[in-house]
């Protein structure tokens, strides 16, 4: 497995502002993903963070709203832009470990509340 | 049809009994299957992975996979109150995207 550090763990933000969430892994990983989990719901994949290139977004998610960076094999950021109360959710970083059995492991998540 | 379907529950099981959680998936090219446990307010934790037809046992947990029926299940023997959580079924297919799709989760409650 891998040790995944995600921060901040929680935040309360004003509508119209942006928040950047960081995900740091203790080893190089092949794949990094960002998920959203709305209250009482399951996980929805936002995008795959690609090292050195633009992220691959899922249907319903766009780069202008959720810009993602992945400058190297151990670090990624997700920004939630121009926030509204509907963005209140838990955001989760997930990784697949290089040479592993393709299982995905999760960071502890960021609980975002937009007021 | 959802890609991964689970009964949302809640599923209530007496302590010491067997809890049976079920999941179906729609994409026949799926190749990897996972069960995650999620406690309230926490992130998902991988508890089982299975890749081939049949049973896979790990302690009190047994995962069962039937690719012909597109069905995967999780059995928890000797259920404990600490097993009370939401269990997420997840499926991965090998494509250029290589992404994991999650079901909506089954809430399990173990009653003393």
Q: What residues of A are in contact with residue B103 (Cβ under 8 Å)?
A: 42
- Test A109 with B43 for CB contact under 8 angstroms: yes
What's the confidence (pLDDT) of residue A28?
Answer: 85
Nearest chain B CA: its distance from A40 CA (Å): 9
H helical segments located in chain A: none
Q: Percent helix, strand and coil across chain B, each rounded to 5? A: 5, 55, 40
Res B103 pLDDT > 80: yes
Res A101 pLDDT > 80: no
Q: Is A53 in the B-facing interface, judged by CB distances under 8 Å? A: no
Question: What number is the average pLDDT over the span B39-48?
Answer: 93
Question: What number is the average pLDDT over the span A24-35?
Answer: 91
What's the confidence (pLDDT) of residue B97?
Answer: 56
The span from the CA of B100 to the CA of A20, in Å, is 24
Q: Which residue has the tokens 């950047």?
A: A20
Question: What number is the average pLDDT over the span A44-65?
Answer: 93
In this structure, is the dihedral angle defined by the CA atoms of residues A57, B7, A105 and A87, taken in order, positive or negative? positive
Res B66 pLDDT > 70: yes
Question: What number is the average pLDDT over the span A4-20?
Answer: 97
Q: Is B90 in the A-facing interface, judged by CB distances under 8 Å? A: yes
A58-69 pLDDT, tens digit each: 999 999 999 999
Q: Which of B42, B97, B103 has the CB atom closest to A48's CB atom?
A: B97
Res A57 pLDDT > 90: yes
Res B27 pLDDT > 70: yes
Nearest to B90 by CA among B21, B17, B16: B21
Which of A5, A35, A43 best tests the B interface by mutation, with the highest count of B CBs <10 A? A43
- Test B43 with A101 for CB contact under 8 angstroms: no
| In contact, B80 and B15? CB cutoff 8 Å | yes
The span from the CA of A40 to the CA of A90, in Å, is 11
In this structure, is the dihedral angle defined by the CA atoms of residues A110, A61, A104 and B50, taken in order, positive or negative? positive
- Test A56 with B104 for CB contact under 8 angstroms: no
What's the confidence (pLDDT) of residue A84?
Answer: 97
What's the confidence (pLDDT) of residue B95?
Answer: 58
Res B88 pLDDT > 60: yes
Q: Which of B49, B99, B105 has the CB atom closest to A101's CB atom?
A: B49
């Amino acid at each position: 497995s891998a040790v995944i550090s995600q921060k901040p763990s929680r935040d309360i933000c004003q509508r119209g502002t942006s928040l950047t969430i960081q995900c740091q892994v203790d080893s190089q990983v092949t794949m990094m993903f960002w998920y959203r989990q709305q209250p009482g719901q399951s996980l929805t994949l936002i995008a795959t963070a690609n090292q050195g290139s633009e992220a691959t977004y899922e249907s319903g998610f766009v780069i202008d709203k959720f810009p993602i960076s992945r400058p190297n094999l151990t670090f990624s950021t997700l920004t939630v832009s121009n926030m509204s109360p509907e963005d209140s959710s838990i955001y989760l970083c997930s990784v697949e470990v290089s040479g592993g059995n393709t299982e995905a492991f999760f960071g502890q998540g960021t609980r975002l509340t937009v007021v | 049809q959802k890609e991964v379907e689970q009964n949302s529950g809640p599923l209530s099981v007496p302590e010491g009994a067997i809890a049976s959680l079920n999941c179906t998936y729609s994409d026949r090219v799926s190749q990897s299957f996972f069960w995650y446990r999620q406690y309230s307010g926490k992130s998902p934790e991988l508890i089982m992975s299975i890749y081939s037809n049949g049973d896979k046992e790990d302690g009190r947990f047994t995962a069962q996979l039937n690719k012909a029926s597109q069905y995967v299940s999780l059995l928890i023997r000797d259920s404990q109150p600490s097993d009370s959580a939401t269990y997420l079924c997840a499926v991965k297919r090998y494509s250029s995207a290589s992404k994991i799709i999650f079901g909506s989760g089954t809430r399990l409650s173990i009653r003393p």
